Structure 1
Amino acid sequence: MTNRIVVVPLLLAITALNSCGTEDNHHSTSDNSSDNGSARQGHWVTGDLHVHTALSQDARSPLADVLSHGFDDFGLDYISISNHMRNNSQDNDDNDLGGLLYYDALTTYELPGVASLQAEKYQDKLIYSTFEWDMPTHEHYNVGILWDDANKAERLAAIKEFEYRFSYKNNDSDFSEADLQAWKDKGIVRQNATHEDALAALTWLEENFADSSYGMLNHPRRYANSYTIAEIRELNDAAPDVFFLAEGMVGNQFNGERGDYGSSSADGVHGGVDPVVSELGGWWDALLGEGRKIWNTANSDHHFKTRIPYASGYYPGEYAKNYTWVEGQKGDHLDSQTLLSALRSGNTFSVFGDLINALDFSLQDHNGTSKTMGGNLSVAKGEVVTVTIRFKVPETNNREQVVNDENYNSANPGVHHVDLIVGDVGEKAAHGSAAYDNGHNDSTKVAKSFTASDWYQDNEGYYVMTYTFTAEKDQYLRLRGSNLDYNVEGLTVNGEPQRSEKVVMTMDDYLKYYEDVNNRNYADLWFYSNPIFVSVHN
């Protein structure tokens, strides 16, 4: 795919930040701002944290096909394979073997298959295995228990134990007598039926793998009754080092009901984005308003793209991408622990449809100390803070000329506006209080919406804008941007994304259905940054 810079004309002065992206749409090495104003070398990597292969019983795409699309066609740096933790697992090529435990399918098929393909084709890519867990009484939750060569056996044993203890998608008879006896001898009992069991699972991860595991809420409000905001807070309280990701920009976008959010959802998706993130002043803002470090992601949730007459999700990297800043030089070996540290930092932005392919977003005080996404800038009350935003737009995106022709090359519509969203940060809500049940942050607002008249293009091809404010209280600032004007019928009202319309197949015309789904999705593009915090002292 050719990616050049299309003129989408960004505001005034530019701070001394170096390039954060290049025209190849995937990498750059640059100095990104850090503590005390010093610079560190690093680069952006792109990837997908929620990808199924045919190992999952409800998925159809073979492992080799998934990796080929994600890496060869769309240039991702990493893919996290996250198959279902259930007792109906298959092999890598969609063969039903009568139902396998996830652990057995992982060790017998997935890991050997990945090792073979990595050695053959993808030595410079990161491919690692996580799992999608059916959280008791709730929804799907991604869990990654990471390992290296030295502790691989130990971590795989932990995954097997997790499947026994905390998954309800299996039976005792699925496990060997030897394993059952060993767990019984250790006093391990099953905890897979209640919200308290879900908390126990996250507590177990926090106590045993705080530095080497993570969890992510997948498609959080696909069902309206999956969670309350209080339950989300309890999960985060149980494992703050583990639960720090939420899939706000959900997968399964190539679906008539975008994201597979139907009538049982909280309110569908808005611009393809779960209401947890898309609602201004909603759940995400409520959590950020307590200072909770929970970061947004965008993933494919790929199971298959089309299986006549059905449609499900784009391939990894085709429509949704995460851009995450990792320390070190471009070309350095990327391992899962390095990626985990980078994800935990919060320095990530997420995109639909390659609307942008580079973003610098920073806050700077009068001394030149600056912070990027996930960071906290401490300033004196009354100090002037400068916000700098720089982005690039590729000339093309991956929209096919005709669905499944694999001609991934269409004109990028460009960015119409970028919203700078600000919310107040207060005390962390106490368990059992009214605030703990509150899913709103009423202070959240769009402080400034930038359009082409507010930005200019610098000599590196970035569109640049700045904004200044006087720091009077603790706050956070985050960005969202869109190709859409502020009031587009059925899509935006005063700049706020609206519920995505359902596409219905008529007269069994699945080809038209595929085109209609694709047209809907590429007409309605968004990007979201993670927040930067400001703390004020006297």
Structure 2
Amino acid sequence: MRTLPLLTLLALSACATRAHADPDDGRRWLAGDHHVHSEWSVDWDRSTTPPTPIRGGDSPYTRTRNAQQALAHGLSWMVHTDHGGPGHSAVTRDHAWPALLQARQDVPSLIQFNGMEFDVPAAEHASLIIAPGPDERDELIAIERGYSRNEPLLADARNDGKLMLDALAHMRTLPSPPLVFVNHPSRTATGVGQWGEVELAELRTWHDAAPQVLAGMEGAPGHQAAPAHRGLYRNAAAPTFGGFDQMTAQIGGVWDTMLAEGRRFWITATSDSHVNQRDGGRDFDPGQYSKTYVWARHEAGDIFEGMRAGRMFAVTGDLVDALDLTVRAAGGTDRSAGIGDTLAVPAGAKLRVDLRVRQPIQPNFNNQRPALHHIEVIVGAGGDAGPQMQVKRFGPERWKSEGRWLTMSWELPAPERAGFVRVRGTSTAETVPQADVPGEDPWQDLWFYSNPVFVEVTR
């Protein structure tokens, strides 16, 4: 019989121990950004056939520089997401991929994912994030070459909504399916509730096609430093609200509708970094202003699956850096659920919502220590006329301070149908986020939003 080396036995023992341990062992809140551009978001010289890529056309920064800035601004993970274009899959293969390998070598402590800003057929953009593994280069190239709207040399050749469904069908069959988050979903809206290239029906259709792939959307889009149009939401009739997209910011709106339908559909916050404001641009560096926190171990696979499972919250200006949202049936039961999870309770039960948030000890990157003005616990449930919403607001007079932590609780009847609980908070006195206007200082308008805990009612 072959004898295994001692180190191998120890490794196998450790794996077995982990398999039976608490799945949260070693997990903590890890900040990241899934929407960052580099010099391989190229421009194009269209006087040639095929068009010639112009390096640095949409961003001057190397992938290594972006990784260094991400680390300097407190991030543990980042996704490289360059734009596509006519024949860009060759740029991905020959330039962007080697640049990613170099960045991983230069900044090894930052977990870096392969991805791109996918040109969605018959829509706009999405962050495409490839699962870490031996096929991550070839999988991205195949998706870009086969389905990206701007890959063909002939304009509008792929302006077909069915192709997005084909792309999702392809992605969901991969051994390790990628993740897709819709970018700046309301940037092309023409008014509040008047949608442009992304609308509720489309989100439903995409999510139905591949719910484990089409994981969510940017709750807070990037370009927050843009002085004239925060988030580059250029239509004054359809701005961001407190830096967040209207689909997320409106209680009872598109996001809550998706959640009330039982859809595991998550939100994030990103930089969409192209050119930093210090260099004359309209962007913040990765992590400088916006962060998406994932509850995960410092491992690429666990971070990736944490994003898929919705163990995330989104925040601007480092308003908070940790969040513990727990829902249980009132009355002393040990059964509980946290962000991204589901709690089953009997009909007629009462819910107890416990929330703890932590404020950072260090000043943010505007050299300020923002204070929370109030926090809202938001409860939604499905209804015949749309989501039924309840909101309870907590201020300093209603929460308890325990060092850096603020704690609060709420007991309420469980929804008659399935529902969800999520929270948000702000540094402002606004009871609802106000429409953003040209020239406002984003550092004075800070918010955080959690992803939900789902509640199922058993009968």
Using the size of structure 1 for normalisation, the TM-score is 0.72
Shift of 1:463: 1.0
* Counterpart among 270, 275, 282 of residue 312 in structure 1: 282
Amino acid across the alignment from 1:69 = Q
In structure 2, the CA distance between the partners of 1:442 and 1:534, relative to structure 1 (3 Å rule), is closer
Query: Aligned runs of 1:110-149 on 2, under 5 Å?
Result: 110-120=96-106, 122-149=107-134
Which residue does 1:498 correspond to in 2? 434
Aligned-residue CA RMSD (Å):
2.3
Which residue does 1:181 correspond to in 2? none
Contact 1:222/1:266 (8 A) holds in 2: no
* Counterpart among 161, 164, 189 of residue 198 in structure 1: 164
Amino acid across the alignment from 1:282 = G
Shift of 1:244: 1.1
* Counterpart among 307, 317, 320 of residue 353 in structure 1: 317
Which residue does 1:524 correspond to in 2? 445
Contact 2:74/2:287 (8 A) holds in 1: yes
User: Is 1:477 aligned with 2:442?
Assistant: no
Amino acid across the alignment from 1:369 = R
| Alpha-carbon distance between aligned partners in 2 of 1:378 and 1:158, rounded to the nearest angstrom | 38
| Alpha-carbon distance between aligned partners in 1 of 2:276 and 2:368, rounded to the nearest angstrom | 22
Which residue does 2:48 correspond to in 1? none
| Alpha-carbon distance between aligned partners in 2 of 1:371 and 1:212, rounded to the nearest angstrom | 26
User: Is 1:392 aligned with 2:352?
Assistant: no
Residue 199 of structure 1 aligns to a residue whose secondary structure is helix
User: Is 1:341 aligned with 2:305?
Assistant: yes
Amino acid across the alignment from 2:233 = Y
Cα distance per residue 1:376-399 (max 9 Å; x no partner): 111112223211111111244434
Counting aligned pairs with the same residue, the percent is 28
Shift of 1:266: 6.5
User: Is 1:373 aligned with 2:339?
Assistant: yes
Residue 174 of structure 2 aligns to a residue whose secondary structure is helix
Query: Aligned runs of 1:220-369 on 2, under 5 Å?
Result: 220-224=185-189, 225-256=196-227, 257-263=229-235, 267-306=238-277, 310-326=280-296, 328=297, 334-335=299-300, 337-365=301-329, 366-369=332-335
Cα distance per residue 1:282-303 (max 9 Å; x no partner): 0001100100000010000000
Contact 1:144/1:215 (8 A) holds in 2: yes
Residue 115 of structure 1 aligns to a residue whose secondary structure is helix
Q: How many residues align?
A: 412
Amino acid across the alignment from 2:77 = Y
Which residue does 1:421 correspond to in 2? 378
Amino acid across the alignment from 1:349 = F
Cα distance per residue 1:144-176 (max 9 Å; x no partner): 232413xx2xx4333333223222323359xxx
| Alpha-carbon distance between aligned partners in 2 of 1:280 and 1:472, rounded to the nearest angstrom | 17
| Alpha-carbon distance between aligned partners in 2 of 1:282 and 1:138, rounded to the nearest angstrom | 20
Query: Aligned runs of 1:65-144 on 2, under 5 Å?
Result: 65-71=65-71, 73-87=72-86, 101-120=87-106, 122-144=107-129
In structure 2, the CA distance between the partners of 1:213 and 1:56, relative to structure 1 (3 Å rule), is same
| Alpha-carbon distance between aligned partners in 2 of 1:221 and 1:157, rounded to the nearest angstrom | 31
Amino acid across the alignment from 2:339 = M
Shift of 1:475: 1.5
Residue 364 of structure 2 aligns to a residue whose secondary structure is strand
Contact 2:115/2:128 (8 A) holds in 1: yes
User: Is 1:453 aligned with 2:400?
Assistant: no
Residue 74 of structure 2 aligns to a residue whose secondary structure is coil
Shift of 1:61: 2.3
User: Is 1:40 aligned with 2:24?
Assistant: yes
| Alpha-carbon distance between aligned partners in 2 of 1:451 and 1:307, rounded to the nearest angstrom | 36
In structure 2, the CA distance between the partners of 1:198 and 1:114, relative to structure 1 (3 Å rule), is closer
Amino acid across the alignment from 1:275 = Q
Residue 444 of structure 1 aligns to a residue whose secondary structure is strand
| Alpha-carbon distance between aligned partners in 2 of 1:166 and 1:480, rounded to the nearest angstrom | 36
Structure 2 regions of 5+ residues with no counterpart? Answer: 1-21, 43-57, 190-195
| Alpha-carbon distance between aligned partners in 1 of 2:387 and 2:23, rounded to the nearest angstrom | 36
Shift of 1:449: 0.2
Contact 1:285/1:441 (8 A) holds in 2: no
Query: Aligned runs of 1:20-35 on 2, under 5 Å?
Result: none
Shift of 1:125: 2.0
Shift of 1:142: 1.6
| Alpha-carbon distance between aligned partners in 2 of 1:351 and 1:221, rounded to the nearest angstrom | 19
Contact 1:376/1:532 (8 A) holds in 2: yes
| Alpha-carbon distance between aligned partners in 2 of 1:424 and 1:109, rounded to the nearest angstrom | 48
Amino acid across the alignment from 1:321 = K
Contact 2:122/2:149 (8 A) holds in 1: no
Structure 1 regions of 5+ residues with no counterpart? Answer: 1-37, 88-100, 174-189, 401-409, 427-434, 486-491, 504-516
| Alpha-carbon distance between aligned partners in 2 of 1:201 and 1:136, rounded to the nearest angstrom | 9
| Alpha-carbon distance between aligned partners in 1 of 2:423 and 2:358, rounded to the nearest angstrom | 15
Which residue does 1:98 correspond to in 2? none
| Alpha-carbon distance between aligned partners in 2 of 1:44 and 1:167, rounded to the nearest angstrom | 33
User: Is 1:55 aligned with 2:40?
Assistant: yes
Residue 247 of structure 2 aligns to a residue whose secondary structure is helix
